């Protein structure tokens, strides 16, 4: 039962919190009320059975708990007179996006916006968000607490903003939906992947694209996530092990979803306002539409990474570009590109993994083994650790 309640929370946290926050006008009160409702579900559902609409039950129960708290709270007595006569809220699509937009309010600092939205929109724990941001748990706990306090003190409304406010909030909204999907696609926690989070990210991106049809980056993000999600059936084998792109059975890919995503991307590109999500989607489309790994247009992939770096000057972009360099130019120039990132990415497990692959391709197995062992030490995802462990074993057998 605990697992069921946890799954419901993780799959519709944004809708439930959004519905309660919209009515109560207070994120903290909504969170507290929903926490009470989740605890009540754990007590009652084992005996009474799971209700037909679990999320509706939780929101209704949370609403009642919130009213009880307001009645006991001197500060809340005036508020309860305003809301007690209204029926319990029902979570819907608008509530999920309203929660995302509210948490991405421009009055909040950028890191706080993204962290709070991840917390509210995805049901991730504080520890999981800290891992995603590569910061200590106490630091993230303070960041979330401060952001929630700012929402309350500034009276920020939990509703989808007016069109003239979209542009100011859109970058953070796009970033958080991307992070929600990535956490589901390859989790930073104990499980290798979390399907419900990946689906939530795709759905939020689609809803955002529908809400903002003239924003090509919203369509670009939706296309990017759809392209990645279309390969989900081939990404892990029956033992739960990662299957790398070059080894995936492309017959398992959802070709119809890939074609739809490609059409969405083309429509976005025609608007003539390129951005990082459209460029990432373009790279994903080149991989998804190629008939085989060898047939991928690696020169074009590399060129798109060059364009991406101009708008997103991240060392990880250059690391990914180096992978394309290996196939477009050769492993030696690719290794030079990777080694040039040492000062910026020496603590990143995928930098060491990329070095290991390139060194192995250059027939330098001892150095490749050392790099692979370091990648294994730094990896946290169980499926990535298993993959690197296999790689270490292969390299040891070559010596």
Average pLDDT for 349-358: 97
Average pLDDT for 206-219: 92
Average pLDDT for 111-118: 77
**pLDDT exceeding 90 applies to what percent of the chain?**
44
Higher pLDDT: 346 or 74? It is: 346
- Which pLDDT score is estimated for 348? 95
Residue 312 has pLDDT above 60, yes or no: yes
- Which pLDDT score is estimated for 387? 93
Higher pLDDT: 158 or 274? It is: 274
Residue partners of 104: CB distance under 8 A and separation at least 6? 113, 114, 117, 169, 172, 173, 176
Residue 75 has pLDDT above 70, yes or no: no
- Nearest one of 224, 310, 210 to 269, comparing CA atoms: 224
Confidence class of residue 194 from pLDDT cuts 50, 70 and 90?
low
* CATH number of the domain located at residue range(s) 1-91 in this protein: 1.10.1740
Cα–Cα dist 356/364, whole Å: 9
Confidence class of residue 392 from pLDDT cuts 50, 70 and 90?
very high
Residue 191 has pLDDT above 50, yes or no: no
Residue partners of 335: CB distance under 8 A and separation at least 6? 322, 355, 358, 359, 362
Terminal C-alpha separation, the chain: 50
pLDDT, the chain, mean: 85
Range in 5-19, 23-37, 181-195, 272-286 the model is least confident about: 181-195
Cα–Cα dist 18/20, whole Å: 6
- Which pLDDT score is estimated for 130? 81
Token pair of 108 as six digits: 């909040």
Range in 80-94, 187-201, 342-356 the model is least confident about: 80-94
Higher pLDDT: 64 or 242? It is: 242
- Greatest mean pLDDT among 88-97, 108-117, 300-309: 300-309
Residue 133 has pLDDT above 50, yes or no: yes
Token pair of 64 as six digits: 């009642």
Range in 105-114, 143-152, 368-377 the model is least confident about: 105-114
Q: What is the DSSP string of 276-289?
A: HHHHHHHHHHHHHH
Residue 183 has pLDDT above 80, yes or no: no
Residue partners of 185: CB distance under 8 A and separation at least 6? 193, 198, 201, 228, 229
- Is the pTM value of this prediction over 0.95? no
Cα–Cα dist 203/340, whole Å: 38
Q: Is 159 helix (H, G, I), strand (E, B) or coil?
A: coil
Residue partners of 376: CB distance under 8 A and separation at least 6? 349, 385, 388, 389, 391, 392
- Give me the residue spans of the domains in the chain: 1-91, 92-154+166-212
């Amino acid at each position: 039962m605990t697992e069921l309640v946890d799954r419901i929370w993780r799959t519709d946290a944004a809708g439930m919190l959004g519905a309660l926050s919209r009515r109560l006008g207070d994120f903290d009160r909504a969170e507290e009320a929903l926490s009470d409702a989740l605890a009540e579900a754990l007590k009652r559902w084992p005996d009474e059975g799971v209700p037909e609409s679990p999320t509706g039950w939780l929101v209704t129960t949370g609403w009642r708990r919130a009213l009880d708290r307001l009645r006991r709270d001197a500060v809340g007595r005036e508020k309860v007179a305003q809301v007690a006569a209204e029926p319990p809220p029902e979570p819907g699509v608008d509530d999920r996006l309203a929660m995302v937009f509210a948490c991405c309010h421009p009055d909040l600092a950028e890191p706080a916006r993204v962290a709070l939205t991840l917390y509210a929109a995805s049901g991730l724990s504080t520890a999981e968000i800290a891992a995603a941001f590569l910061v200590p748990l106490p630091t993230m706990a303070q960041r979330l607490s401060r952001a929630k306090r700012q929402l309350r003190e500034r009276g920020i409304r939990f509703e989808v903003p007016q069109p003239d406010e979209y542009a100011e909030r859109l970058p953070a909204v796009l970033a958080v939906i991307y992070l929600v999907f990535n956490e589901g696609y390859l989790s930073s926690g104990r499980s290798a992947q979390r399907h419900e989070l990946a689906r939530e990210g795709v759905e939020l991106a689609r809803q955002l694209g529908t809400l903002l049809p003239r924003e090509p980056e919203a369509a670009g993000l939706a296309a990017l996530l759809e392209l990645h999600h279309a390969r989900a059936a081939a990404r892990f084998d029956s033992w739960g092990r990662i299957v790398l792109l070059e080894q995936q059975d492309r017959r398992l890919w959802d070709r119809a979803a890939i074609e739809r995503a490609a059409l969405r991307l083309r429509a976005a590109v025609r608007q003539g306002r390129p951005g990082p999500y459209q460029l990432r989607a373009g790279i994903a489309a080149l991989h998804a539409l190629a008939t085989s790994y060898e047939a991928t247009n690696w020169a074009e992939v590399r060129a798109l990474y060059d364009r991406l770096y101009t708008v997103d000057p991240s060392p990880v972009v250059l690391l990914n570009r180096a992978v394309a360099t290996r196939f477009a130019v050769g492993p030696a120039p690719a290794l030079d590109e990777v080694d040039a990132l040492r000062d910026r990415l020496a603590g990143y497990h995928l930098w060491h993994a990329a070095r290991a692959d390139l060194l192995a391709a250059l027939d330098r197995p001892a150095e490749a083994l050392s790099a692979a062992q370091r990648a294994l030490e730094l990896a946290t995802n169980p499926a990535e650790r298993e993959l690197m462990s296999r790689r270490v074993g292969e390299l040891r057998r070559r010596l």
